[in-house]
Amino acid sequence: MDSKVVIYTDGACAGNPGPGGWGALLQFNDTSKEIFGYELDTTNNRMEIMAALEALRILKKSCNVEIYTDSKYLQQGITAWIHNWVKNNWCKSNNEPVKNADLWQKLYAELSKHTIIWKWVKGHANNSGNIAADKLAVQGRETAIEILKCRG
């Protein structure tokens, strides 16, 4: 597992819930790949998780990965809270179901494939990778908005 991939992720939503997008910038050696997607009715937190999930899904082999996110929800969820959620059958300590459990479960499944370091970065703070991921997430969100406009 010599390969090191750096990933910047972000989510964007117009309203919460509302049309949303996710984006990720993947960097490997001198190569970079940009990906984005959208959902017509979603939340900002779902888009944050989707960005990380889809970025990990496109990796073709096990890698050492650094993921940078400006979402404390994503960073804390995957590094601190998820272990108790798994033990508690995807319930929080108050026995309420974990929000977005469907996506957390999929993201959790990706963890075993890679060695991942999760890092939080301040959003909109001149970090070029975060800025690129934000632009991609906004592109996804704008795509969703345009689709909804076409549907009337």
Annotated catalytic residue, options 48, 54, 77, 129: 48
Residue list for the binding site for Mg(2+)? 10, 48, 70, 134
Annotated catalytic residue, options 2, 30, 124, 152: 124
Would you call 10 a catalytic residue per the annotation? yes
Distance CA 8, CA 23 (A): 8
Would you call 102 a catalytic residue per the annotation? no
Q: How many CB atoms lie within 10 A of CB 143?
A: 16
Please report the sign of the dihedral spanned by the C-alpha atoms of residue 38, residue 133, residue 69, residue 126. negative
Cα-based angle 87, 92, 98 (whole degrees, multiple of 5): 100
Q: How many CB atoms lie within 10 A of CB 72?
A: 11
Residue list for the binding site? 10, 48, 70, 134
Annotated catalytic residue, options 20, 77, 134, 140: 134
Cβ-based neighbours of 58, under 8 Å, separated by 6 or more: 26, 33, 35
Annotated catalytic residue, options 21, 70, 77, 129: 70
Q: What SS3 class is residue 30?
A: coil
Extract the tokens encoding 13.
Answer: 């939503």
Would you call 152 a catalytic residue per the annotation? no
- Active-site annotation, residues: 10-11, 48, 70, 124, 134
